[in-house]
Amino acid sequence: MNLKIRQKLEKGYVSIIEGKEGIKLIHLGILRLKKGERFDGPPLNDRETALVILSGSCDIFCGAEHFLKIGDRATVFEGPATALYIPAGNGYRIIANSGLEVAIITALAQKRGNPVLIKPDQVKIEKRGKDNYRREIHNIMVNNIGAETLLVGETFNESGQWSSYPPHKHDEDNLPQEAKLEEVYFYKVYPEQGFGIQRIYSADKQLDEVYVVENNDVVLIPKGYHPVVAAPAYKLYYLWVLAGEKRIMTTREDPQHSWVTKL
């Protein structure tokens, strides 16, 4: 089973995930435009959409709503994201005000409504962990958005630091302890020649994969525990996208490793 995707990102829209390796709900693509170029996203009657501006600035038109000059970071490492949530049934147009990179995420949904802009100061930032598993988490579309299936955010690992640690999973419907959510990670590294390590494993080790992740790699997480570490001297970022029929951010830690939180 290969859960890593390494795909060259060209100008325009590049689809990365559409029905791969147990990821049934989530589609992901990356849009790159030059200043003045535009992209039209068609109405999707059975999918909701999240547009996360990775870098650059743009105008977005969605129905009667106009969102002008949104996005102001040069890279993902320069502050919280700007994003737009678009319920099912709505098309949109993106016009680049500068060089632009946008993650276009969709997931199965039927719920209608109006688009919602998430500004950088509306992103909830959390510091988690301690010692060598400290990380910063940016919740972009979690409790602040009434989406049907999507949960979206960003995680930042400093040099040598682990995240998704102690290892956790969310592949069973066993509330209140755990909700079943598939997940996708999209990586950036600074400087770009750097790397990180991603492990994905199940308790019985029938699934046990380890990947070197580099800039613009994507990793699929249909199930299992999934810790991540940044190589020394490099910063590691990943956009995380989860989706499930029960949109609840509830996870279960690996009991073999949860003891580290008591140190």
**Torsion angles phi and psi, residue 109, rounded to 5:** -170, 160
Listing DSSP states for 132-174 in one string gives T--EEEEEEESTTS--SSEEEEEEEE-TT-EES-S-EE--S-B
Asked if residue 227 has a cis previous peptide bond (ω within 30° of 0), the answer is: no
Q: What is the pLDDT of residue 209?
A: 98
Q: What is the pLDDT of residue 186?
A: 98
CATH code of the domain in which 33 resides: 2.60.120.10
Domain that holds residue 189: 4-262
- Do 250 and 170 contact (CB within 8 A), yes or no? yes
Displacement of CA 73 from its chain's centroid (Å): 17
Residue-wise over 218-238: b if at least 16 C-beta within 10 A, else e? bbbbbbbbbbbbbbeebbbbb
Cβ–Cβ < 8 Å for 9, 3:
no
Full pLDDT tens readout for the chain, 263 residues: 799 999 999 899 999 999 888 899 999 999 999 999 999 999 999 999 999 999 999 999 999 999 999 999 999 999 999 999 999 999 999 999 999 999 999 999 999 999 999 999 999 999 999 999 999 999 999 999 999 999 999 999 999 999 999 999 999 999 988 999 999 999 999 999 999 999 999 999 999 999 999 999 999 999 999 999 999 999 999 999 999 999 999 999 999 999 999 98
CA gap 224, 90 in Å, rounded: 34
**Could you give the CA distance from residue 135 to residue 237 in angstroms, rounded to a whole number?**
10
Sign of CA dihedral 50, 104, 62, 154: positive
Let me know: does 87 contact 115? Beta carbons within 8 Å. Answer: yes
Number of domains in the chain: 1
Q: pTM here?
A: 0.97
